[in-house]
């Protein structure tokens, strides 16, 4: 990993931790709150390819004041490079900014706002639909559903992508804490 990539990842993680300090003492009653690890073996990626089985990917959802939830996603891609995503959202159907390592670097160096936004809407007590927008263009909607026992959640994305390819992904996450 290059020195600049490491500095950027550590900076992003520091910003993430500073957001965590503002988390509300009152927990949002959303079953997604916690830390989750990707379960590659139980996940289905169609058309694929499936990530390597030794991939480590963690998501952390933290409650914040006013019903907001902060998420961070840290991982390593197939090339061994760190990846990072973060954002704050409300399950209110409105678009809210989201960041990945590229948009965060651009914001830090030029002040340019993220080109990524996401909207979340509640389906039921354990399920939420979300859509990611890049430069205002919507991706396929995904449904995140937490199991009744609270120990796993799935993200299901189905449809035809911008390249005309049928997509049917079911990504499984296991609760770490």
Question: 136: number of CA atoms within 13 Å, CB side?
Answer: 0
DSSP letter, residue 163: T
C-beta of residue 147 within 8 angstroms of C-beta of residue 153: yes
Over residues 30-61, the pLDDT tens digits come to: 999 999 999 999 999 999 888 887 788 999 99
Q: Which domains does the chain have, with CATH numbers?
A: 3-175 (2.40.128.20)
* Structure tokens belonging to residue 8: 């950027």
pLDDT attached to residue 55: 80
pLDDT attached to residue 28: 55
Over residues 119-177, the pLDDT tens digits come to: 999 999 999 999 989 889 999 999 999 999 999 999 999 999 888 999 999 999 999 98
Confidence grade of residue 103 (pLDDT, cut at 50, 70, 90): confident
Q: What secondary structure, in 3-state letters, does 92-154 show?
A: CCCEEEEEEHHHHHHHHHHCCCCCEEEEEEEEECCEEEEEEEECCEECCCEEEEECCCCCEEE
pLDDT attached to residue 156: 97
pLDDT attached to residue 1: 47
Q: Which residue would you say has higher pLDDT here, 54 or 8?
A: 54
Strands 57-63 and 34-44: antiparallel
Residue 104 to residue 11: CA distance in whole angstroms: 10
Residue 90 to residue 97: CA distance in whole angstroms: 11
DSSP letter, residue 27: P
Mean pLDDT check: name the lowest of 57-71, 101-115, 117-131.
Answer: 101-115
Element holding 20 (H helix, E strand): helix 3-20
* Structure tokens belonging to residue 153: 């959640």
C-beta of residue 142 within 8 angstroms of C-beta of residue 160: no
**What is the share, in percent, of the chain residues with pLDDT greater than 70?**
84
């Amino acid at each position: 990993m290059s020195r600049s990539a490491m500095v950027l990842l550590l900076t992003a993680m520091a910003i993430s931790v500073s957001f965590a300090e503002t988390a509300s003492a009152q927990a949002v009653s959303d079953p997604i709150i916690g830390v989750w690890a990707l379960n590659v073996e139980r996940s289905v990626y169609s058309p694929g390819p499936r990530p390597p089985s030794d991939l480590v990917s963690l998501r952390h959802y933290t409650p914040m004041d006013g019903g907001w939830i902060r998420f961070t996603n840290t991982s390593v891609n197939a090339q061994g490079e760190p990846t990072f995503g973060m954002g704050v959202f409300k399950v209110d159907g409105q678009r809210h900014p989201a960041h990945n390592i590229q948009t965060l670097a651009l914001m830090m160096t030029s002040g340019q706002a993220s080109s990524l936004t996401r909207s979340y809407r509640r389906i039921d007590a354990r399920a939420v639909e979300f859509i990611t927008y890049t430069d205002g263009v919507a991706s396929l909607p995904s449904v995140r559903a937490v199991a009744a026992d609270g120990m796993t959640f799935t993200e299901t994305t189905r449809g035809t992508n911008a390249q005309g390819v049928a997509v049917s992904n079911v990504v499984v996450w296991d609760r770490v804490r």
